[in-house]
Chains A and B, each alone.
Chain A
Amino acid sequence: MGSSTEQLDPEAEVPEQAFEDYIIDLDFHVNPMTDELMSYVEDDVIRDKLTTEFGPTPVVGKWDAAYAIKEGTEGLYTQGRAEYAEDVREACKKFAIDEPIVNPGINNLNQQHHPLLKNGVTQAANDYMLDNFADEGMYTSMMVPKWDPEYAVEEIERVGSEDNIAAAYSWFDPKVPWGAEQFDPVFEALVEHDLPLLLHGSLAYWPQHTHIGDEMMTWTEVLGFDWPIHGMVNVVNMIMRGVFDRFPDLNVVLQEAGHWWVPFLRYRMDEFYEMHPEDVKITPRKHEAGERYLDRTPSEYLRDNFYLCTQPFAMPRNAGEAEGMLNLSLAEDMFIYSSDWPHQTLDPPTWFYTSRAFDDDTRQAILHENAEDILRL
């Protein structure tokens, strides 16, 4: 017996319904070719040093995904390499992503040694992204140098008001956490420019050559858990040191820091703060303001000032359990869809259609509404 057969639509890789929804992707990496990127460095002396055989980002991490996947280092480019806006458009089409918020993906920059050279790469990356993405009508997140807050402000003043600059992009890492007062001028500039601060994992990992760092041997430990732990550290540090009492309009998005830890933080922060609040007045911002306590309960800042990118979603298969986790994690207020294209950890927007855990309100909030609330679109 025979039967009719039908070839599938090669343009669609995710469920049909995804093509009907409006989808913003808050973490889409572009990877400029090094030579072209370096041609954007304005300072001749800096460009000269960045283009030696040492390369612009010579410091490597102790761990690498290359040990953990069959294709080795190719995990960085599992889907390909987007260099220009048309590459991004081609990639997004099959995943039903309507509005990618692109970034130049130089996530090991923070880990490099020399601040001036790093500033040179930042300037070049921002100009490359303006020319090839923002000016091509694609929303872009500009790079903000965490290691040099003064230059960060300068760069926000220079680039932050350009058309299609929708957010600022920097990193959370095991170095100075973002609650430190040295970042206040950066926060002020971001609020003034109406830009949310996206903080991505930075390949800096656990402080290396430490007892814990030296014992980490698998990617599951390193990327899977190091990043969320440092994400949590940064969130709690910012809240408890009163960043949001001084900058109530500042929005912060953590990218690849995990998200299912929200319930833990909500209840633990509030419990501890309510029992032990008397040290808040000796944190520098509060002391300077002559204030004794936080203006609000810690979990309220978490809900109102923080957003978390969802990739990789790591959903429980059981829809009832997944729904409970979404509710406890305040997904409707805090989660924002991200794909992480082109990395091996890619998360196409499938969960929203394959799991019954999402009601329409939660789905729309994660796929675009929460992003629209905070991005400068």
Chain B
Amino acid sequence: MSTESPVGDNFTKVAAADEIEQGTGIAVDVKGIEVAVFNTGDDFYAILNRCAHQQAPLYKAGEEKINAEDTWTDTRGGVDAENATVSCPWHLWEWDLETGEHEVTGKCISTFDVEVADGDVYVSI
């Protein structure tokens, strides 16, 4: 992937903005750290990809379920644009995308700054 960053030296390009569909995420390995990048529709957010509960890959939140039409909610966990949270695809722990906090336990995982420039998404590790 190209290396020039128009948004600052410590930002790394992770994807073209249109590669991350609204309500979904991708995961990338940036400098050895697994990062999940979500498009809530309002904004892009980057958070550590591994859930602190049992290490689920958070970027799978919003993935369509098997036989989704025969269930009620269609997706495994998901992104909540209004509250800027993501619920984990395994057990639905809800992570604040701004602060990285899980309210019930008070546990936190890292979040990262995101910039969008020229149609590309950049993350600062």
Report which A residues bind B (CB closer than 8 A): 1-8, 10, 13, 15, 31, 33, 69-74, 77-83, 87, 90-91, 342, 344-348, 350, 354
| In-complex Cβ contact of A350 among B12, B27, B55, B71 (8 A) | B55
User: For chain A, what secondary structure do more than half of its interface residues adopt (helix, strand, loop), or is it mixed?
Assistant: loop
12 A-B residue pairings within 8 Å (CB atoms): A2-B1, A2-B5, A3-B3, A3-B12, A4-B3, A71-B73, A71-B87, A72-B72, A80-B76, A82-B66, A348-B90, A350-B55
| In-complex Cβ contact of B27 among A8, A70, A78 (8 A) | A8
A31 to B68, CA, bound (A): 13
B30, closest chain A residue (CB): A5
Q: Quick one: given A8-B27, A70-B87, A348-B54, are A2 and B70 in contact (CB under 8 Å)? A: no
| In-complex Cβ contact of B12 among A2, A13, A90, A344 (8 A) | A2
Best-surrounded residue of B3, B30, B67 (most CB of chain A within 10 A): B67
B59, closest chain A residue (CB): A8
Is B60 an interface residue, CB under 8 A from the partner?
yes
CB <8 Å contact, B30 and A83: no
Q: Quick one: given A2-B5, A79-B65, A80-B71, are A7 and B12 in contact (CB under 8 Å)? A: no
CB <8 Å contact, B92 and A354: no
- Chain A residues near B30 (CB-CB < 8 A): 3, 5
Q: Which of B22-55 contact A (CB under 8 A)?
A: 26-31, 34, 49, 54-55
- Min CB–CB distance A314 → chain B (angstroms): 11
- Chain A residues near B91 (CB-CB < 8 A): 78, 344-346
A33 to B57, CA, bound (A): 30
Interface size on B, residues (CB 8 A): 38
- Min CB–CB distance B31 → chain A (angstroms): 6
A75, closest chain B residue (CB): B92
Q: Quick one: given A2-B4, A8-B29, are A91 and B66 in contact (CB under 8 Å)? A: yes
CB <8 Å contact, A6 and B4: no
Best-surrounded residue of A3, A79, A91 (most CB of chain B within 10 A): A3
A350 to B57, CA, bound (A): 12
Is B2 an interface residue, CB under 8 A from the partner?
yes
A55 to B115, CA, bound (A): 53
CB <8 Å contact, B72 and A83: no
- Chain A residues near B5 (CB-CB < 8 A): 1-2
| In-complex Cβ contact of A33 among B3, B70, B72 (8 A) | B70
- Min CB–CB distance A98 → chain B (angstroms): 18
| In-complex Cβ contact of A70 among B3, B13, B70, B92 (8 A) | B92
- Min CB–CB distance B60 → chain A (angstroms): 7
